[in-house]
Amino acid sequence: MNARAPIALFQEAAKVITHPRCMNCHPAGERPTQTERMQPHQPLVVRGADGRGAPGMMCATCHHAANYDPAGVPGHPDWHLAPLSMGWQGRSVAQICEQIKDRARNGGRDMAALVQHMAEDALVGWAWAPGVGRAPAPGSQAEFGALVRAWADAGGYCPSP
């Protein structure tokens, strides 16, 4: 099978994946970033054992069930960081692609579960409704999901490093 089409699809999906709305919650280290400039999170917070913050400074202390626009605090009922194994910051699109497909790093998801996560997960969907003053990820979650589904259906090939 020709890998050009699925690679092009993934590169288009990568416009979302590499957008600050996604990258801020996929840090390669212990500290999330914030804003379009991906600045270190203020106040100082760290991942914690389960990606929900450290004792005494859990994500839910500030991040509630919904965005709180008057204070500029984003929110979602399940606010948390992606697992460290899915840290994307500092990685190339090719590296992220391989990482996403690796069941040992992606939470054990096969391609169908990966597509479902990206196309339907409400926390992923927050990227398109980030609240006042934040640029949403490009397109819509439905469009992103369609790209990821088409990429997977076409073989799920990754760009060369």
Q: What residues contact residue 70 under an 8 Å CB cut-off, 6+ apart?
A: none
Residue 157 has pLDDT above 80, yes or no: yes
Chain segment 47-70, per-residue pLDDT in tens: 999 999 999 999 999 999 999 999
Percent of the chain with pLDDT strictly greater than 90? 98
pLDDT the model gives residue 1: 61
Could you list the beta-strand ranges (E) of 51-104.
53-54, 57-58
Q: What is the pTM of this model?
A: 0.94
pLDDT tens digits for range 105-127: 999 999 999 999 999 999 999 99
- Whether 160 shows a pLDDT value over 90: the answer reads yes
| pLDDT higher than 90, residue 161 | no
Burial bucket for residue 47 (CB in 10 Å: 0-12, 13-18, 19+)? buried
